[in-house]
Amino acid sequence: MVTTLASASADGEVHLLTHPAAVCASAEGWDTLASTSGGVGGQAWAQAWLEVYGADHELAVSVAGPVDAPTAVLPLVRHPRRPWTWEMLGIRQMSESMDVRGDDPRGLGLLLAEMARRGVPLRFKRLPAESRLLPHLEALHGGRAWVRARLAVGTPTITLDDRWREPEHHFSKRRRGDFRTALRRAEQLGPVELTIEEPTPAQVAPLFEELVAVEASGWKTRAGSALAGRASMRAFLLRLGQIAAEKKAARLAFMRIDGQAVAVQFAIEQQDRYSLFKIGFDEEFARCSPGNLLMLHTVRQAAERGLTRFDFLGAAEPWTAVWTDEVRACLDVNVYPRSAWSPVAGGDALARRAGWWGLQRIRAGRAG
């Protein structure tokens, strides 16, 4: 296991972890550190990413304090094809909103000061707007680095309270009637069962394969986003579930009609949050609205267990608007220190932005 003492002062020390074994050992203590992104960026996330994607990347995971009991963690990686920018571990593959781990102001300040000293450009693609890292990023601006932040795609969420123990009351009379009608239609087809499994590591794989099969039966296969056709993401989420199950944090929810799974969810329950990574339903049972009925069940159970957030992850979509109009703001933050790499990173960022705008113009033109 390889670790490097990057810097030490009267305020504390910063270790730079560049070897997967060192990162995995340190990650055992990450889940106890506060974070606005819950299970995204925790120990299971880091270990699963290292196993599936890590071989193609260079690591620069900075931890403040002892390696095995850090007070703050900034997990950065870069790909050899883009060596000029360091990004948060897993953000490029999963595109989820991700924050640092830890709320120790001194530790966070040390981490950013060390990265600025190293002169490496940074990109925080979907940093939560309430991140404790932002004040330290602002402190860098104009001195050690140029910091540019703009709004990024937010992530929908439900702030849970006791009223969500009966989620139906958050909907209109018509919508409540739709839920009742859907349940009656389902019951006409056979016994209805709604469950949230808390699997052991050995139980995750068969339940996860059941989820993949249900998801593949719907529109996601036609859109090319189903896990059945995305081997790396499928492997990552499976390992994420297995590792999270070791700490009893994995959740696989099912709605079954006469024993057949017709709606599924994969989530991580951590730091009082239900982080929903994947959903799916069998389109043959669309008249029963199985996805909505399962969502009612999981939101209700989350509130009854005293959780504070139900995070949908991903981005706001028409179907999430049915459940919440609350969207957690995110920022796309680029940090350019005074180094030779920064002009290259800045040019790459401009090219990406120009490409994005060009794509939007093409799509708008095709839409008439």
pLDDT digits (tens, 9 = 90+) for 59-98: 999 999 999 999 999 999 999 888 778 999 999 999 999 9
pLDDT band, very low/low/confident/very high, at 204 (cuts 50, 70, 90): very high
CA distance 56 to 50: 9
> pLDDT value at position 350?
64
Residues 6+ apart with CB under 8 A from 25: 1, 67, 68
The conformation of residue 28, written as its DSSP 8-state character, comes to: T
pLDDT reading at 212 higher than 70: yes
Residue 100: pLDDT band with limits 50, 70, 90: very high
Local structure of 282: helix, strand or coil: coil
- Reported as a pLDDT band with limits 50, 70 and 90, residue 348 is low
Tell me if 227 sits within 8 A of 234, measured CB to CB.
yes
pLDDT reported for residue 11: 53
Residue 10 confidence (pLDDT) above 50: no
User: What pairs with residue 152 in β-bridges?
Assistant: 330
The yes-or-no verdict on residue 194 having pLDDT over 60 is yes
More confident residue, 353 or 124: 124
Full-model pTM? 0.89
Cα–Cα distances in angstroms (integers) from residue 366 to residues 155, 224, 356, 360, in the given order: 28, 20, 16, 10
Q: Is 246 exposed, middle or buried (0-12, 13-18, 19+ CB in 10 A)?
A: middle
If DSSP codes are grouped into helix, strand and coil, which group holds residue 176? helix
CA 324 to chain centre: 18
